[in-house]
Amino acid sequence: MYHTPSLGRSDDSAVDSSSVPGTPSDMSMFAQAYSIPADSLDMGALPERVGTPQPSRYHMALPDILHPETASSVPIRTICCIGAGYVGGPTAAVIALHNPHIRVVVVDRDQRRIDAWKSRHLPIHEPGLEDVVRIARDGAAETRRRGDSPTGDTMDAARQPNLFFSTACIETIKIADMCLISVNTPTKTRGVGAGRATDMAALEGACRDIAMHAKAGCVLVEKSTVPCKTGQLIKDIMEAHRPGVVFPVLSNPEFLSEGTAIRDLMQPDRVVIGCESTISGHRAAAALANLYAAWVPRSRIAPIGIWSSELCKLAANAMLAQRISSINSISAICERTDADVGEIAKSIGLDPRIGPQFLKAGLGFGGSCFRKDIASLTYLAESLGLPEVAAYWQQVLTMNDFQRDRFARHVIATLNNSLRGKKVAILGYAFKKNTGDARESPALDVIRILLEEGPKSITIYDPLCSEADIKRELSVLERDYAVSMPSGPVEVVSDPYTACANSNAVLILTDWDMFKNSKPVTQSSKPVTIAQTYDGATPTDVLHLTPRIERVTINKPPTPPRTPKLSPLAPELNTRLLPEPSCPADCTVCRSSSSAGMSAETDTTTPIDWATISKTVREPRWVFDGRGVLDARAMVGMGFRLETLGRASMY
């Protein structure tokens, strides 16, 4: 374990720390090495391996972060989560679920977003999120549980709500014992570092609000993905507004994957907590560790230095993105050599040193994380005078762009190098399945290239992305083309069969299960036991999975029953759910669902009927699979011509 330098000026800091500039344009100071006083080391105990740092006597005297009693002087009664987005909302909900004695308030200045969190139509889609929010936000009813003991039945007391959503940011900050900073940190679009550096405006604004209104000793927790040394920037802001007042700063990066965020929160493989090497820093970290310990084994909580914590999130995403670009580079070779990238990925994934994760060839990575974080990493490396490191990681982005560009140009080449008078159907806009997030989708780049050829129509269907979100993302193309109808060719529809009708080509751009053409499993008349459980992640029983069927109305065409939904709540908690908040008469979500003849809960698992689609598309029935979800033999048997990334063309 190494000696972590403390942040600048603290009540009990015994180690000097280098100051860093608050703007990303001058990061040369970041490269300074922190020295360890010679008298703080046991020189006789140094290892034979040169350069291995050893803990100082001061560090060894600091309280144990993983010991429950370390945080006895840091009571946490109220938590303020600043930012009600993809990180703040689910994280706050799970913390509130497992800590019913703590009041958790999520604040955001967007009134519409807060209203959505209070309603039955949450602003983001995550499997299991609705049930977690309902228990923590609405509470649970009292119920009688039949007992086997001689004393008879037992009563489960009603659970009171402890998760709240509000736009009263300042008022909530004033009473908070801990503030989770979960604001958006996008890539800068202008100025120094545009296109790569992280835009810290929202984080700086949140820190200023905390500095001016929070009570002394409030613990600040970085949840947003930020550049290394952001902790010093926060300390500088706090010191400028409240000189001499102690505000411990922690780094607690999230490692959530959209589509499985609740599973990742319920059963994390690790919880990283970065802190400064001070007594107050360790106590604050112990307080945060106690919150997680309500459902996460302490063996999975990893206390590390704050700089390492800030950098490890960027490094983790860069490593995952690197694997995607690596297998995509192999897919290009496969298409020229008659090799099958799926077979290659399977074979190399059997090597335990490599493993099978993130070896699925496709259109590359999208979403709000990977590209942004790698761009931030390259900018950091260049600022530190490491151009070779920056060039290495930049190539991951270059390969990602190359993959989607060559896919789109292959579509154009196959359609005789012209899209004039032709309709292209796009199935899937979200960057991955099980999420309604339309940001940074690979579909955007594909559509951009298709628009260059002047198609008659581009029809988009996605089961979860809203029409408004898709059009907002496509609006960046309007500088060069008329995009959306009636002036442009792009139309967003709510039905896959309408999207594909009379199309010259069908493009699969998201790996939704409903687009797969594998044969549905015959439903058994006997009850089916779902073996998948959340095992070992918590001593409580609220995480056991239970099947729950949701009603859905499907107008076209008849299909097999949908897959049961898995709830993260125990059966007894499911029965104690209180009625959902009623929607106002003018609820746009309810109105749009009613007009489409569907349930407000969209079905994303029931397979579409490709045989029906084969009768409505134009000859020669081209289908371009950008996600590797279709079985070639089955598609050819229905009369389609299938082109798949990573496989040589059959035509």
Residues within the annotated binding site for NAD(+)?
A: 108, 113, 185, 225, 258, 372, 439
In sequence order, the 6+-apart residues with CB closer than 8 A to the CB of 581 are: 118, 119, 120, 138
Place of tokens 């409030």: 218
Instruction: Decide if 169 is catalytic.
Output: no
Residues 6+ apart with CB under 8 A from 47: 54
The residues, ordered by sequence, that sit 6+ positions from 323 with a Cβ below 8 Å of its Cβ are 357, 358, 359
Find tokens 């009571």 and name the residue.
75
The one-letter amino acid code at 516 reads K
Among residues 444, 445, 489, 427, which one has the least CA distance to residue 623?
A: 427
Q: Mind giving me the DSSP string for 27-57?
A: -GGGGPPPP--GGGS-GGG--SSTT-----H
Q: Tell me the two tokens of residue 385.
A: 């005078």
> Could you give the 3-state DSSP secondary structure of residue 523?
coil
Residue-by-residue DSSP string for 110-162: -HHHHHHHHSSS-SS--TTHHHHHIIIII-B--EEE--SSTT--EEEPPBPP-
Write 25-32 long-range contacts (CB < 8 A, 24+).
Answer: 25/192, 25/193, 25/197, 26/383, 27/229, 27/380, 27/383, 27/384, 28/383, 28/384, 28/385, 30/228, 30/229, 30/380, 30/383, 30/384, 31/384, 31/385
Burial (CB count <10 Å: 0-12, 13-18, 19+), residue 621: buried
Tokens representing 441?
Answer: 């989708």
User: Binding site membership: which residues?
Assistant: 108, 113, 185, 225, 255-258, 313, 358-362, 366, 372, 432, 439
User: Distance between CA 260 and CA 126 in Å, rounded?
Assistant: 7
The candidate with the shortest Cα–Cα distance to 135, out of 80, 95, 85, is: 95
Q: What are phi and psi of 36, to 5 degrees?
A: -110, 125
Cβ neighbours around 563 below 10 Å, total:
15
The H or E element that residue 565 is part of is strand 565-567
Which of 179, 207, 312, 369 is catalytic? The answer is 369
Q: Where are the beta strands (DSSP E) in 229-292?
A: 249-251, 271-275
Residue 128's closest CA among 628, 597, 605, 543? Answer: 543
DSSP state for residue 420 in the 8-state scheme: B
Cβ–Cβ < 8 Å for 53, 3:
yes
Nearest one of 541, 547, 587 to 120, comparing CA atoms: 587
* Tokens 């939704």 found at: 512
Q: Which residues are annotated as a binding site for substrate?
A: 255-258, 313, 358-362, 366, 432
Active site residues: 369
